[in-house]
Homo-oligomer: A and B are copies of this chain.
Amino acid sequence: MSWRKEQRRAERGYHHGNLKEALLQAALGLIAEKGAAGFTFADAARMAGVSAAAPYRHFRDRDELLSSIAQRGFEQFEARLTAAWDDGRPDTVTAFERVGRAYLAFAREEPAFYNAMFESGLPVDANPALQAASERAFNIIRAAAERLAALAPPGMPRPPAMMMALHIWSMAHGVASLFSRGDAARRKLPMSPDELLEAEVLIYLRGLGFPTDRRPPARGAEPPPVPPEAPSGSGVPPGGTPGGPWGKPK
């Protein structure tokens, strides 16, 4: 009860206080540095200032730690996608693309989480809680796709929202994992991963018949099914992509 003990508790608390949290943080840092494969249980213990056996009081084994991190990652992922979707404001297509960018941003800014979630070799169904978290995150994309599908122009058959969601997911994951992270980012590209994904999604949506030319409706005409591409005269607002979803057409 002495002051010192109180002090110790503040520093390390009960036998360190919250080793579990400390280990998660340490592991996160290590994974960010060296990848999920390179991360070692012993290192995390060392980093937390604790013996190599201590972590086993909090995690059955190394995989369970990894799985915990992946789960936490899916939760943050879900939060970011939810925020990006913003319930479809200001319009569905814009919000949808924002979700795509949020996906990439997460992959780029949280490499450790992304690695644990998708590249650590964890079996998808390792942990029911993990699986549930993963599904909750995916459901954001799915819900967005649902809203988008409901907007299908009259002329076109309405695409299944589930399929759209899976397509978008695969695009985002493909771009993230091939071009946007770690060593893979070194591949030389004609455009940034964000632009690449944005163009990909836009072209895809156009393929479904959605109007993707969302700029101040300078030249009236409500979008007919599959409107022609950007008119050559438009003023190219900053967010817009002149000349179509890709850069300057040849």
Contacts and interface: CB of A to CB of B under 8 A. Distances in A.
A159 B246 contact: yes
Interface stretch (A42-50, A79-87, A186-194): A186-194
Nearest to A205: B207
Nearest to A219: B157
A247 B122 CA distance: 32
A169 B189 CA distance: 13
A35 B121 CA distance: 8
Interface stretch (A9-17, A18-26, A67-75, A172-180): A172-180
B186 A125 contact: yes
A110 interface: no
B200 A167 contact: yes
A197 B171 CA distance: 10
A132 interface: no
Interface string A154-188: 01111110110011011111110111000110110
Contact of A37 (B121, B125, B169, B190): B121
Question: Could you say which of A169, A190, A196, A207 has the most chain B C-beta atoms within 10 Å of its C-beta?
Answer: A207
B163 A169 contact: no
Given A125-B183, A177-B173, A178-B169, A160 B246 contact: yes
A199 B162 CA distance: 13
Contacts of A186: 124-125
A174 B183 contact: no
Interface of A: 35, 37-38, 118-119, 121-125, 155-160, 162-163, 166-167, 169-175, 177-179, 183-184, 186-187, 189-191, 196-197, 199-200, 202-208, 221, 224, 226, 228-229, 243-247, 249-250
